[in-house]
Amino acid sequence: MTTQVPDTLLDEVALGLAPDEDIRRVEELALADPSIAARLERARLRFLPLDDTAPEMPLPDGFWDRLRAQLDQAPARAANVVNLADRRLRRWRMTAMGGMAAAATLAAMLGWSLLQSPDPSVVAVLLDAEGEAVALIEGQPDNTTRVTLLERPDLPAGRVMQVWTKPDADGLPVSLGLLVAGRSDTLTVPGLPEPDASQLYEITAEPEGGSPTDLPTGPILGKGLAKKPVI
């Protein structure tokens, strides 16, 4: 029986954003299941342009000597060491991409690289109060919205993340749904117009079950305006 691994978890592992225990579990599954290994490699290739935009970071002294020593051990152990090294390199490079410059890079690069088909109508990078990129939004023509978290939220007990947008700049915010598990997810709301450039997106912290007023009530965790991706 094939183990089910969500695409969102594979994306988080590829970016180095998943918890260490999830990363270890997915990499162990990839070693045993070629289909999971292939999906994980596809996820890493989608994010490769993001790596290319980050400045090179120096490796710690003696890194390659320690790596070669580990590679002399059993093949499975060696593969795990290589995966761990790759993950840490990605984390160092992602850390180097802080602030507004990172947000602009995410919007330019991930807007066309994350989802190959169908192409998103709009892409938005949500920033927190300090200007750090916390989430990537990809709005599809059918109002399927892919939310990729770039930071793991520190939510108080009894709070949940709720995603909002404003199809009409002069209208009220509309809920796109909850990120119940505090993880990246894909949300669908029928009946909304196709998302357009300059459309506002935001994520707020709301009571469990969502806002009691059907409007944002909690603190804003991230917000941003949509842009048309260059395809």
If DSSP states are collapsed to H, E and C, what string results for 145-203? EEEEECCCCCCCCCEEEEEEEECCCCCCCEEEEEECCCCCEEEECCCCCCCCCCCEEEE
Q: What's this model's pTM, rounded to 2 decimal places?
A: 0.53
What's residue 132's pLDDT? 86
C-alpha 219/C-alpha 226 separation (Å) is: 20
Please list the ranges in the chain whose pLDDT falls under 70: 1-3, 47-118, 231
Domain with CATH 2.60.40 in the chain: 99-225
User: What pLDDT, on the 0 to 100 scale, is given for residue 83?
Assistant: 55
The pLDDT of residue 107 is 45
pLDDT recorded at residue 200: 95
Residue range 99-225 in CATH 2.60.120: no
pLDDT of residue 146: 92
The one-character DSSP state at 92 is: H
pLDDT of residue 195: 92
* Dihedral angle over CA of 89, 92, 96, 99, nearest 10: 120
Burial class of 113 by CB neighbour count within 10 A (0 to 12, 13 to 18, 19+)? middle
